[in-house]
Structure 1
């Protein structure tokens, strides 16, 4: 059987390499490598017209919404905190459309950091715009333990306590409709979210599995994607 096809959202940025300085679809290699290591094929999903999101998702077996810039606060009815980064409106619109399409079509969905926060916002939740103590040094990933909630999807994938790669300054505040928290940091920060029931394979994690070697979460995604193909 052919490998499941997993789409991963990307940045649209200006980049410089060799003699070139151009606009690019940019994604850290950790994301496609993570998908490939779990036994799937990875395809990149650069920002596009949100009207095309449903058609894109229909061709995929699973979706990963990658980490990246802060979600624009207007998306959840808040004024921007001075520490919130500049908006990435094109990416917000595209990735929210991907999330909505995946939920509507029952396509397995994994949100990573920003992706988890967007999943929460897509379902009417809100975000904490700044956390102290969750970035050890700017530009450097740290680690901290997270504790799974028994009886959840995440709890089945990674029971107990896991030490995860992390880099974030925002987090879930009010949970979106139908979501439950399925992992917490020691300070009570929500570290994973998923549908309470009947939502298919949908999971958001606050940390960055692409920066580590723990494949349990992405193997769960790939397994669900393979099953969905029949």
Structure 2
């Protein structure tokens, strides 16, 4: 029997209130687990601090959404909310390790921003792209991977305050929303299967919040992982 590819989800820290005080835990929203499973992969949540040394256990990676990236990471300023400098540091280390090992990677929302910042890109804050139900349209660059997966125009979710300002030398912007906000990043060189999207494809099967791009994007990631297990 062919082994299903293992897709690691880089977890992050939460604090769960308990009668004896806050309990620190590491986890991820179940929507990522469900999306990977639906695409034919086997999800595995990785503790972020140890994820770089655990990449030999997985065939692909997902960097999830979350709070804003600390502007100090990219020499920026301006508004930022729910900042966690330790998470920034840990996830940037994961990106560098994944790049070195050529582990296929999908960066979701904050995850795309981390891809940019990890290789010298910058962000801008203060956006109000928070349209969880209706979302918005994005247009894709002809000939790009994201265009191959979604077509020239796609309806996507929108739940972010930050966005990529300058992708840096390692990335090319390949999708944009109506106001010019960068909505997808792809590498400028070949050899690493990696894609960043500013929206939330994992919401495809959510009971209330939907995103039609989920099957195509997670299907792509699992397909890239499957190449490694063949």
Shared fold (TM-score greater than 0.5)?
A: yes
Q: Are 2:136 and 2:155, in contact at CA under 8 Å, matched by a contact in 1? A: yes
Moved more, 19-28 or 157-166: 19-28
CA spacing shift, 1:75–1:150, aligned 2, 3 Å: same
Alignment pair present for 1:73 and 2:71: yes
Q: Are 2:10 and 2:51, in contact at CA under 8 Å, matched by a contact in 1? A: no
Aligned to 2:197: 205
Moved more, 9-18 or 181-190: 9-18
Aligned to 1:135: 130
Aligned to 2:112: 116
Aligned to 1:35: 36
Distance 2:18 2:31 in 1: 19
Q: Are 1:69 and 1:85, in contact at CA under 8 Å, matched by a contact in 2? A: yes
Q: Runs of 5+ in structure 1 lacking a partner? A: none
Q: Are 2:80 and 2:126, in contact at CA under 8 Å, matched by a contact in 1? A: yes
2:57 to 41, 56, 59: 59
Aligned to 1:8: 9
Moved more, 100-109 or 191-200: 191-200
What is the total number of aligned residue pairs between the two structures?
221
Distance 2:138 2:64 in 1: 20
Distance 1:124 1:43 in 2: 29
Secondary structure of 1:221's counterpart equals helix
**Which 4+ stretches in 1 moved above 3 angstroms?**
16-21
Alignment pair present for 1:155 and 2:156: no
Distance 1:54 1:47 in 2: 8
Give, in angstroms, the shift of residue 142 of structure 1.
4.3
More strand by share: 2
Deviations 1:168-213 (A, max 9, x none): 0110001121211111111111100011231421000000001125
Give, in angstroms, the shift of residue 21 of structure 1.
5.2
Q: Runs of 5+ in structure 2 lacking a partner? A: 205-211
- Give the aligned CA root-mean-square deviation in angstroms: 1.9
Distance 2:22 2:82 in 1: 22
Secondary structure of 2:148's counterpart equals helix
Moved more, 116-125 or 175-184: 175-184
CA spacing shift, 1:100–1:141, aligned 2, 3 Å: farther
Distance 2:216 2:178 in 1: 21
Q: Report the TM-score, using the length of structure 2 for normalisation.
A: 0.89
Q: Are 2:27 and 2:45, in contact at CA under 8 Å, matched by a contact in 1? A: no
Moved more, 211-220 or 52-61: 52-61
Deviations 1:53-106 (A, max 9, x none): 432112210000000011111111123x2x311431221111111111111111
Q: Are 1:10 and 1:27, in contact at CA under 8 Å, matched by a contact in 2? A: yes
